[in-house]
Chain A
Amino acid sequence: MKVVVAMSGGVDSSVAAAMMVEAGHDVVGVTLKQWEDVDGNLPTAGCCTVGDAEDARRVSAQLDIPYYVLDYVDEFRRAVVEPFGRSYLAGQTPNPCVECNRTVRFKALLDRTAELGGDVLATGHYARVVWHPSGYQLKRGLDANKDQSYVLHMLTQEQLERIRLPIGELTKPAVRDYATRLGLRTANKPDSQEICFVGAGNYRDFLSDHFPETTRPGPIVDQAGQQVGSHDGTSGFTIGQRRGLGLAVQEPRFVVDIDAASSTIVIGDRDDLLVDGCVVQGVSFVSGGPPPSRSVEVKVRYRSQPTPVLLEPDGLRWRVEFASPQAAVAPGQAAVFYHGDLVLGGGTIESTFR
């Protein structure tokens, strides 16, 4: 089989490529150039840097596979970076990795796999694609700490048929061991933490550079509407945030609402954070349709624990009712439905309700 492997220059995708080679496939490595500095070159700091592309190139050479850099700068700007800015402008908390997977990695690149000479596309995500008589299933990665199925919830049957996620069967330490055994230069490379296009600074610097409107100062008010402080822009906040409010109060205070239109941050105590459910839009289901049982679990953030919910169709949207009230549910984040290890599908949180 001919396999195109998306290589970021990190250890996970290096091992994904190595596993495909060791399985006897005909492998081609590619790196997506998604973001560029003003000079048109890859950034030199952050993720997806010149150094990362160089690591991917060197690993490919070691695996004796061809390697190419593909230009997705325009697509990425249009489909990921601009919506990222727009989402903050609307007072939401976006997840750009989800948008990248949806429109760039598993759409534009996957659609192009055949053109690049591949039968399937492999990536270094911690999740599993499993064939089942009822169709392809998407499952959480075996390493619970590293599971990335959350950012892959939008995948469909047609896509899963052409996707391989080889490292989903491994734990992170096993991935590093695998790389060490082969002597891959990325074996001990630290994991990237930040958003790839944000680079060396933090995401707020990025937003003030690229979307200055998101860093408009405004008031911080309490539940009664009383001003208790001020802030440098709503984009610095997400629902449930406790740190960085700059308030001189005894009790813990949390961001409970973000009103981007008036550039207002509303704070409250822990109880004010709790919501009974959320409305999710743009929902897709991995199997092609909603699950037979509407009692499922949901993750509302990449790092949150799954919690039991009841799904209710609501026109084109889905109402998600939590079995017990949940805190820190932020519009813009993905709500991903699970049944145990099985990813059922998901969408984007539009609003919350009590």
Chain B
Amino acid sequence: MLYLDHAATTELRPEAWKAMGDMREDFGNPSGVHAISRSAKNRLEADRERAAELIGASRASEIVFTAGGTEADNLAITGAALASDSPAHVVTSAIEHKAVLESAAFVETVGGRATIVGVDKHGLVDPAAVVSAVEPDTAVVSVMVANNETGALQPIAEIAQAVHAAHPGVLVHADAVQAFVSEPVTVSKLGVDLLSLAAHKFGGPKGVGLLYVRDGVRLEPVVHGGSQEQGRRAGTHNPMGVAGMVAAMEATVTERSGFRERVSEIRRSFEDTLAGLVPGLRINGPVDGRLVQHSHLGFPGHTSETLLIRFDQAGLAAAAGSACQSGAVEVSHVLAAMGMGEQEAAESVRFSFGWTSVASEAELACKIIGEVLEDLS
């Protein structure tokens, strides 16, 4: 199987395997008193320090470990909206991940309000539109670093700067879940107050992530229980998962520039070859302003549902929209927000490359796609 769905999830990196294997004997609960616990606690806190360094946070205490990106997003949005005396207002964009959009919707159900800012036809958020959506009771503004479908890179640093300049005290959250693997993510440079990561997107294990919470920012917890993570996230720690995540972060940051070079070349060759094979092939999203590993393409006259099934049978894994509970392909809210018609949206397939991708995959993918299209015609 040729795997071009790295944006959904990617293979565990050997560094992560090793770090987790090393935790075999450190099984302790970091919250205990005895030596076994202490050892686990020490490793967890060393990992926290390393994670903070890797995203440019100034202190380890600014890292809250979560059970993944969705929980990090929930804690950022809901936690910020509910931190003040009365449920507040949140601003986000129409192309955010469901973890953010549904958190905003949840805030509305508990008495808060939400404003969803639209995007242009390339799927880009306008910083001015975000600033003007801020209201006196806005607690948090949330915009992703890069979109998970098209890969469109958002002007997050500009947004953070503009929001903070016009409305000091309003928090800015960035969902960096999809971007981290290929984009430099330094919280001090981005100027954000909150930032989410999910380990499995960059070769760490599933079910673990983190939320960067700038020093001094108060959030209402969304998971209630013990006082782990300074009372910001209850539940027994996951030291093995964290070890895997931080090892994968380390490897990702170290190899990032090489990854960008290699993958952008694979994608260039993939898209160039495919353009010659598929009349009218469209690239969705900003051609020059997207994650290097994303190739979100429109195939005129073919539905993604059929294409994905035929690709699967031909040994090529790709994706479209976001899969629902049953596994059926749903029309993407991201493409809809970009003003794309239902038909064009239904013709779109996302190919995404990752850390295991090699140059020959571009040619192989084009060969498979070409054969499937030939058979369908």
Chain B residues closer than 8 Å to A42, beta-carbon distance: 324-326
Interface residues in B, total, Cβ within 8 A = 14
B277 interfacial by beta-carbon distance below 8 Å:
no
Instruction: Evaluate whether A117 and B313 lie within 8 angstroms (CB atoms) in the complex, with A70-B305, A112-B306 already known.
Output: yes
Whether the pair B312, A66 counts as a contact (CB closer than 8 A) is yes
A residues near B53, Cβ cutoff 8 Å:
none
Q: Confirm or deny: A342 has a beta carbon within 8 angstroms of a beta carbon on chain B.
A: no
Contact of B310 among A40, A50, A117 (CB under 8 A): A117
List residues 29-69 of chain B with CB under 8 A from any CB of chain A: none
In chain B, what residue has the closest Cβ to A72?
B328
Taken together as a complex, chains A and B put the C-alpha atoms of A188 and B330 apart, in Å, by 32
B327 at interface, CB cutoff 8 A: yes
| Contact indicator A116/B310 (Cβ below 8 Å) | yes
Q: Which residues of chain A come closer than 8 Å to B329, judged between CB atoms?
A: 71
B165 within 8 A of A: no
- Residues of chain B within 8 A (CB-CB) of A33 are 326, 328
Chain B residues with CB under 8 A of A28: 309, 313
Question: Inside 8 A of B313's CB, which chain A residues have their CB?
Answer: 28, 66, 117
Q: How far is the CB of A41 from chain B (nearest CB, A)?
A: 4
CB interface residues, A 103-143, toward B, < 8 Å = 112, 115-117
Contacting pair A50 B327 (CB below 8 A): no
Contact A115 B325 (CB under 8 A): no
Bound CA span A206–B310, Å: 37
A33 to B309 alpha-carbon distance, docked (Å): 15
A41/B306 in contact, CB under 8 A: no
A68 and B309 contact, CB distance less than 8 A: yes
B residues in contact with A53, CB < 8 Å:
326-327
A228 to chain B, nearest CB (A): 48
Q: Bound complex: CA of A182 vs CA of B252, how far in Å?
A: 46
B324 contacts across to A, CB distance below 8 A: 40-42
Q: List 28 A-B contacts (CB under 8 A).
A: A28-B313, A31-B326, A33-B326, A40-B324, A40-B330, A41-B324, A41-B326, A42-B324, A42-B325, A42-B326, A53-B326, A53-B327, A57-B327, A66-B309, A68-B309, A68-B312, A68-B327, A69-B326, A69-B328, A70-B328, A71-B328, A115-B306, A115-B310, A115-B376, A116-B309, A116-B310, A117-B309, A117-B310
In order of increasing CB-CB distance, the 8 nearest A-B pairs are A69-B328, A69-B327, A71-B328, A41-B325, A33-B328, A69-B326, A42-B326, A53-B326
- B residues whose Cβ falls under 8 Å from a Cβ of A: 305-306, 309-310, 312-313, 324-330, 376
